[in-house]
Structure 1
Amino acid sequence: MKASEVAYKPVGLAIGAVSGMLAGVAFKQAWKTIGHEEDAPDATDEDRTWREILFAAALQGAIFAVVKAAVDRAGATATKRLTGTWPG
């Protein structure tokens, strides 16, 4: 294992935590706009339809995936600029 890969591990963990927080904020804001309410439905919410629950879950998953990919890519790019090698 290269030194840059070892050095990137803790950075990658921190980046993962930050991306989760950013995605959570982005999803909450998106749901307020799309759903016109503060909170997204829970899967066990008896008063919500299947369609509403599955749409909220799909939206949340898409937002989390996009934010994670963007943050991971930015972290890898920054690591390459700093160390000259791409983290593996």
Structure 2
Amino acid sequence: AKTVHRNLQMKLVGAAAHVEPDGNGRVLLPASQRGAAGIEKKAVLLGMGNKLELWSEQAHLAKIRETISEEQITEDMLDLKF
């Protein structure tokens, strides 16, 4: 379970990029980040606590359709507050 948690953390945080909004409140996402996320045209912006996640529309749809098995649920997950 610890390895699954670490792998998830690495995937989510390891691809993070710090960006600053321009004068109009827009954020330019580096091409490397767009490529890593597979973003071509449509994207999904998710608020996750004090962070934002940007997903390609296709990847987001695939992720929300996945199910989590009982064996993958950790004690830390049970304590999550939304």
Q: Tell me the TM-score normalised to structure 1 length.
A: 0.30
Which protein has the bigger helix share? 1
Give the structure, 1 or 2, with the largest relative contact order (CA under 8 Å, sep 6 or more).
1
Greater C-alpha radius of gyration: 1
Which protein has the bigger strand share? 2
